[in-house]
Structure 1
Amino acid sequence: MITPKEHFHGSDLEKIEAVYGIKKEDITSFSANVNPLGVSPLLRSTLASHIDAITSYPDREYTSLRECIAAYTGTDASQVIVGNGSTELISLFIQIEHPKKAMILGPTYSEYEREISLGGGTTLYYPLREKDDFVLDVDDFTAHLNESIDLLVLCNPNNPTSSCINRTDMRRILDICKQYDIFVMVDETYVEFADNMDEITAVPLTHYYNNIIILRGTSKFFAAPGLRLGYAISGNQDLIKSINTRKNPWTINSLAVIAGELMFTDEEYIQQTKSLISSERARIYEIFKNHPDFKPYKPSGNFMLLKILREDITSADLFDKAIRKNMMIRDCSTFPFLDNKYIRFCFMMPEMNDKLIDCLLSK
Structure 2
Amino acid sequence: MIHGGDIYTDGIFKGQELLDFSSNINPLGVPEGFKNNIAEALDSVTRYPDIKYREVIKNLSDYTGTAEENFVLGNGAAEIIDLVISNFKSILIVVPSFVEYEINAKKWGCHIEYSKLLDNMDFDYEDIENKLNDVEAVIVGNPNNPNGNIIDKVKVETIIEICEAKNKTIIMDEAFIEFTGRIKNSFLDKIEDNKCIFIIRAITKFFAMPGVRFGYGISSNKVLLNNIRKKQNPWNINCFAELAVKYSLKDKEYIKKSLQWIEEEREFFVKQLNEIPFIEQIFKSFSNFVLCKLRNVNEEKLYEYCLENGIIIRKTSNFRGLDKSYVRFAIKDRESNEKLIKILKDSSF
Match of 1:141 among 113, 128, 144: 128
Specify which structure has the higher proportion of helix.
Answer: 1
Please state if 1:345 is matched with 2:345. Answer: no
Please state if 1:254 is matched with 2:239. Answer: yes
Separation of aligned partners in 1, 2:41 and 2:78: 27
Call closer, same or farther: CA 1:18–1:86 in 2, change over 3 Å.
Answer: closer
Match of 1:122 among 104, 111, 120: 111
Instruction: Write out aligned runs for 1:173-188 (5 A).
Output: 173-188=159-174
Sequence identity (%) = 32
Residue 228 of structure 1 and its aligned partner are, at CA, apart by 0.9
Match of 1:158 among 144, 149, 153: 144
Please state if 1:330 is matched with 2:314. Answer: yes
Call closer, same or farther: CA 1:250–1:18 in 2, change over 3 Å.
Answer: closer
Call closer, same or farther: CA 1:58–1:22 in 2, change over 3 Å.
Answer: same
Match of 1:46 among 24, 37, 44: 37
Which residue identity is paired with 1:35?
Answer: N
Call closer, same or farther: CA 1:184–1:63 in 2, change over 3 Å.
Answer: same
RMSD of aligned Cα (Å): 1.8
Call closer, same or farther: CA 1:49–1:69 in 2, change over 3 Å.
Answer: closer
Call closer, same or farther: CA 1:75–1:287 in 2, change over 3 Å.
Answer: same
Separation of aligned partners in 2, 1:346 and 1:46: 29
Tell me the equivalent position of 1:354: 338
Separation of aligned partners in 2, 1:265 and 1:301: 21
Residues 299 and 315 in structure 2, CA contact (< 8 A), matched pair in contact too:
yes
Separation of aligned partners in 2, 1:305 and 1:336: 14
1:162-191 deviation per Cα after TM superposition (whole angstroms, max 9, x unaligned)? 111033333332112234432111110111
Tell me the equivalent position of 2:199: 214
Residues 171 and 205 in structure 1, CA contact (< 8 A), matched pair in contact too:
no
3-state SS of paired residue (1:186) = strand
Please state if 1:9 is matched with 2:3. Answer: yes
3-state SS of paired residue (1:208) = coil
Separation of aligned partners in 2, 1:207 and 1:29: 39
Tell me the equivalent position of 1:93: 84
Please state if 1:61 is matched with 2:45. Answer: no
Residues 100 and 120 in structure 1, CA contact (< 8 A), matched pair in contact too:
yes
Separation of aligned partners in 1, 2:180 and 2:301: 30
TM score, norm. by length of structure 2: 0.94
Residues 116 and 124 in structure 2, CA contact (< 8 A), matched pair in contact too:
no
Residues 166 and 201 in structure 1, CA contact (< 8 A), matched pair in contact too:
no
Residues 2 and 99 in structure 2, CA contact (< 8 A), matched pair in contact too:
no
3-state SS of paired residue (1:178) = helix
Separation of aligned partners in 2, 1:182 and 1:290: 45
Total equivalences in the alignment: 346
The runs of 5 or more residues in structure 1 that have no matched partner are 1-6
Residue 111 of structure 1 and its aligned partner are, at CA, apart by 0.8
Tell me the equivalent position of 1:4: none
Call closer, same or farther: CA 1:22–1:296 in 2, change over 3 Å.
Answer: farther
1:205-238 deviation per Cα after TM superposition (whole angstroms, max 9, x unaligned)? 1111111211111111111111111111001112
Tell me the equivalent position of 1:301: 287
Which residue identity is paired with 1:333?
Answer: S
Separation of aligned partners in 2, 1:248 and 1:144: 34
Which residue identity is paired with 1:246?
Answer: K
Tell me the equivalent position of 1:231: 216
The runs of 5 or more residues in structure 2 that have no matched partner are none
3-state SS of paired residue (2:191) = helix
Residues 167 and 199 in structure 1, CA contact (< 8 A), matched pair in contact too:
no
1:2-23 deviation per Cα after TM superposition (whole angstroms, max 9, x unaligned)? xxxxx3632322211388x452
Match of 2:304 among 311, 320, 327: 320
3-state SS of paired residue (2:292) = strand
Separation of aligned partners in 1, 2:306 and 2:116: 29
Please state if 1:268 is matched with 2:253. Answer: yes
Residue 106 of structure 1 and its aligned partner are, at CA, apart by 0.4
Separation of aligned partners in 1, 2:154 and 2:183: 11
Residue 49 of structure 1 and its aligned partner are, at CA, apart by 4.7
